[in-house]
Structure 1
């Protein structure tokens, strides 16, 4: 009985942290200058935030994600790519980390997530194309969707 209770307590604690990190990702998404969609990402390893990101243009470019037709410019980086690239510029490693996203990843970002060594994904909203999630599930990532964190 005590072991089961401890397991339940650990799961409840993990869910509290998952929701807190997702709320942080939602706040981070508000920093995006993109008009069509604002996405935030937080990478956590060993209970420490090692990177964050939001969708937007590369450093040094004007903060306008859409062209005059309202289409997203080809060079706009997705939130998860921005966060993974931040990890790459540090002494940290994403291997074994958890990625918190406001939206599930596209198929291109899913490849980056897998290759970075991230082992767990927690997200709120589903992206219109489920290919990225399906790819990560097939690869064995632990995936959790939490609505309204």
Structure 2
């Protein structure tokens, strides 16, 4: 029997989901993965500035209905690339939730050529307009219902059984 490999979109979206599991925001766990030439160049999750308190530990720091403690996953991925000198021009984003307007503007300005997202989340009209204006490809990815069977993490959790 030939082992079936998951396709690239599924692979990178599962990675984004895994990255989201590191998030420290109590309101929404989001993960983002930046990819160029089928290689991950950066990743990020919703969380506080390094060294600051985490929302999951002390609660959200709210102003005008928004948590100002949290940096969004997409921004953290872009900032990781900036910190380590990795160009983002022409990269593809895989993100668990549709980016907010501010993240969309930053992604477009950073040269992201495609935004792949898993779930709709307050999809902003102006963000959609900008994505079209910049001719950035937008694609909603649906994870295959059998993705966990194909990934088979059990073989790594219980290696002696396999």
* Interval containing the TM-score (normalised by the shorter chain): 0.7 to 0.9
Is 2:104 aligned against 1:110? yes
Name the structure 1 match of 2:135: 140
TM-score by length of 2: 0.76
Hey, what's the Cα distance between the residues in 2 that align with 1:60 and 1:37?
20
Name the structure 1 match of 2:153: none
Which 5+ residue runs of structure 1 have no aligned equivalent? 1-12
- Structure showing greater radius of gyration is 2
Q: Deviations over 1:17-76 (max 9, x none)?
A: 01110011011101112121100000001221110000110111011164377x642131
Q: Residue 67 of structure 1 contacts residue 73 of structure 1 at CA under 8 Å; is this kept in 2?
A: yes
Q: For 1:14-25, what aligned pairs fall within 5 Å after superposition? A: 16-25=7-16
Q: 1:16 to 1:134 in 2, by over 3 A?
A: farther
Task: Give 1:91 deviation, angstroms.
Answer: 2.5
Q: 1:19 to 1:133 in 2, by over 3 A?
A: farther
Q: Deviations over 1:124-146 (max 9, x none)?
A: 00111333233212221011101
Q: Secondary structure at the match of 1:42?
A: strand
Match of 1:121 among 93, 105, 115: 115
Name the structure 1 match of 2:89: 95
Match of 2:77 among 76, 83, 88: 83
Name the structure 2 match of 1:46: 37
Q: Secondary structure at the match of 1:123?
A: strand
Runs of 4+ deviating beyond 4 Å: none
Q: For 1:55-66, what aligned pairs fall within 5 Å after superposition? A: 55-64=46-55, 66=59
